[in-house]
Chains A and B, each alone.
Chain A
Amino acid sequence: MELIGKKFNFVSKNKLKELEQLSQVQGTDQNNDSYIKTVLKRFFKDKVATVSLIIFLLIVLAAVLAPIIAPYSPSKSVGYFEAAPSGKFLLGTDDVGRDVLSRLIYGSQASLTVGILSVLIYAAIGTTLGLLSGFLGGFWDSVIMRITDVFMSFPYFIVILVVVSLIGPGLWTVTFAIGFLNWPVLCRLVRGEVMKLRKVDYVQAAVASGYNTFQITFKHIFPNTLGIILVNMTFGIATSIITEASLSFLGAGVQPPTPSWGNLMSDAQSINVLANEYWQWLPPGIMILLAVLSINFVGDGLRRAVEGK
C-alpha cells in the first residue's frame, strides 16, 4: 500500500511540476511586449535561424577585424609558392606565394560590402518607388509599374556585364550595378502591400481621423511594410553575394589583387589548381556556401517571426 501510495505521490508530483511549467510557459506567452520584442522572441525560438545568425555575425566580425586576425598580408608574398596547408600556413599559399587564409579573411570584406551595400541601395530605391506607386495610384502608379516591367525584362546578368565592361570592373561598379538593377521585385512587393493595407480598417481609421495621404502612407502604412522589406533584404544579401562571386569568377567583378571570394575561386579555372590544389578554391567555395546558407536561414526565420507562424 505504501509503495503504491509513494508511486502515486511520485506521479502526481511530476504531473504537478509539468502543470506548473505549462502554466509558466503560457504565462510568458501572454503578449506583454512591443511588436519588435515579440518578433525577436519568435526568431530566437528558431534554433536553426539563431545558429545561422551567429555564423553570419562571425563572418561579419572576421571581415571587420581582418587586419587584426589575418596572419599575413593578403597581397604580399610569403616566400612559399603553392604550398599545401601546414601549421604555418593553415590554408596553404597560392601561385604567387600569398597566404590563402589571409586572402580569404580579407575577401569577406569585398563580398560582404557588395552584398550589403547593393541591397541597401536597391532597398532604398524599391521601397521609395513602391510606396510612391501605391500612394499616388492612378497615372503615376502606371508609370512606375511600367518602368518596373522594363527593368524586370532586362537579362539582368548580361546588363551587369555590359555596364561593367563600359565603366570598368571593380568593387563599386558591381555594387552599384546590382543596386540599381535589383529594385523592381521589392518595389512591386511594397506597392502590393501598400495597396493591401490601404483597405485595412486602421488605415481607414487614419483617413477618418483626417490625416492626409502622405501622413497615412509614411506614418501608418510604411511601418507595417518593414517586416517584408527586411525579409526581402536578407535574401537579397545572399543573392548579391552570389552575383558578386559569379562576376568576379568571370573577371568582371572585384579585381585582383583585392581579394573576394569570387575571384579567389577563379584560380580554379586552371586545371592544375582544380585537380591538385584544393586549398585554393575549396575554402572560398565553402565560405560562399556558409554565408549564403546562413543568410537564407536567417531570412526564413525572420519571415516566420514577422508572419507569426
Chain B
Amino acid sequence: MGTPIIQVKNLQKFYNAGKLSEVRAIDDVSFDVFQGETFGIAGESGSGKTTTGKLIMKLEDITGGSIEFLGKNIHEIKSRKETLQFRKNIQMIFQDPFASLNPRLTIKEIIGGPLELHHMVSSKKERDKRVGELLEEVGLSANFAERYPTEFSGGQCQRIDIARAIALKPKIIIADEAISALDVSIQAQIVNLMRKLKREVGLTYIFIAHDLSMVKYISDRIAVMNRGKVLELGDSETLYRHPLHPYTKSLLSAVPIANPITEKNRKRIIYNPDQHQYKDNDECGLFEIGDKHYVYCSKQEIEGYKRQLNNELTKS
C-alpha cells in the first residue's frame, strides 16, 4: 500500500456537546486512506458516514481528534492561500444531484467558476473550452454549458456534479451517497464513469454508501460504521467473505442475491447492539484480528474473533 493521503485519528463530532441533547455523531473513529485506492464507508442512515465525509471536507468543525491531509492537519489550515490549495485537492460528489447544483447559475458558471477561482484558466474563452471538454469527459454534450440545472435529469445532473468535482484535478474525491438517488441503470453508468476516471487520472476515492453490494463492487477497502463508530475495517474481499462483527454480518445478510434459489433461503440476521454488553472498564477499540482486518471489540473478545476467523479460513 502506498502513502496515506488522509489520516483520520480518534475523530469525534458531537452535536450539542455537554447538553442533555448531546448527539455523538462520530465517536473515536480512526482510519487511513491510501493514495490511489477506493475506500468505502458503509453503514445505515445515521451511522455517521456522511458526517465523516463532511468533516474530511472541512465543511464542519470537529469536536476532537484530527484529520490529516497529506500530513497536514486540516484544522490548522487558516490562510486563504492554504485553504484554496486544500479545496483544490479534495472535492466532493453530493448525494442529491438536483440539490447540489445552484438553480440560478448556468452549467458553464457551475463548472467554470471554480476553474477561474483557482486560476486554472486565463480567459473566458479558455474556460468555456475547458468546460466543454469536461462535459464531454463525463459523457455529456459540450453545448449543455449554456443551460440551467433544472433542465437536466438526475443522471445528467450527477454527471455535471462529477465534472465539477474533477475540474480542479483533485487528488481525492469524496462521493457521498453519490448514486443512491439514481435509477439502478444509471447507478451502474455513474459507477463505471467513476472507475474510468480513477484509471485515467489515478484518483483516490472515499465512497460513502449504505448499499454494501455497491460499496463492495467499487471499493478496495471498506469500513463499516454504526452509531458513530467504525465496527469493522478490512479489504473488501475479506470483509465480504469473512465478516466478523455481528453488524457486518447483519448488513451482508440484507443484500439480496440475484439467484432465486439461494435468495429464497437467505436469512436476515438481526443485529442488536445490546448483545455486546460492554462494561465501563472494558477497553474497547479497533483490534487487528486477521491480516489488516480490524474489528471493534473489547480486549476479552479478541481471542473469540480470532478463533472464529481461523475456523472460517480452514473451512474454505
Contact = CB atoms under 8 A, between A and B. Distances in A.
B57 interface: yes
B101 A204 contact: no
A208 B118 CA distance: 12
B103 A224 contact: yes
A220 interface: yes
A34 B168 CA distance: 27
B169 interface: no
Nearest to B102: A202
A139 interface: no
Interface in A31-78: 31-35, 38
Contacts of B54: 204
B148 A34 contact: yes
Given A208-B59, A210-B84, A201 B151 contact: no
Contacts of B104: 35, 223-224
A224 B95 CA distance: 21
B170 to A, nearest CB: 10
Contacts of B127: none
B47 interface: no
Contact of A205 (B83, B150, B164): B164
Contact of A206 (B84, B102, B151, B161): B102
A33 B99 CA distance: 18
Given A31-B151, A201-B95, A210 B88 contact: yes
Contacts of B105: 220, 223
Given A208-B87, A209-B113, A224-B104, A35 B150 contact: yes
Interface of chain A, main secondary structure: helix
B59 A220 contact: no
A32 B151 contact: yes
A211 interface: yes
Contact of B102 (A31, A33, A210, A220): A220
Contact of A204 (B59, B103, B118): B59
Interface string A185-227: 0000000000000001111111111111000000010011000
A94 B126 CA distance: 70
B164 A212 contact: no
A22 B301 CA distance: 67
B117 A201 contact: no
Interface in B38-88: 54, 57, 59, 80, 83-84, 87-88
A208 B57 contact: yes
B288 interface: no
Contacts of B100: 201-202, 204-205
B141 to A, nearest CB: 14
B118 A202 contact: no
Contact of B164 (A32, A209, A223, A224): A209
Nearest to B86: A210
Contacts of B94: 201, 204-205
Residue with the greatest number of chain B CB neighbours at <10 A, chosen from A35, A200, A207, A208: A208
A38 B118 contact: no
B204 interface: no
Contacts of B226: none
Contacts of B236: none
B117 A207 contact: no
B230 interface: no
B96 interface: yes
Contact of A201 (B90, B91, B96, B168): B96
A283 to B, nearest CB: 43
Residue with the greatest number of chain B CB neighbours at <10 A, chosen from A31, A32, A34, A212: A34
Given A31-B151, A210-B83, 14 more contacts: A32-B151, A35-B103, A201-B99, A202-B100, A204-B59, A205-B161, A207-B59, A208-B57, A208-B92, A209-B87, A209-B113, A209-B117, A209-B168, A210-B88
Interface of B: 54, 57, 59, 80, 83-84, 87-88, 90-92, 94-96, 99-105, 113-114, 117-118, 148, 150-151, 161, 164, 168
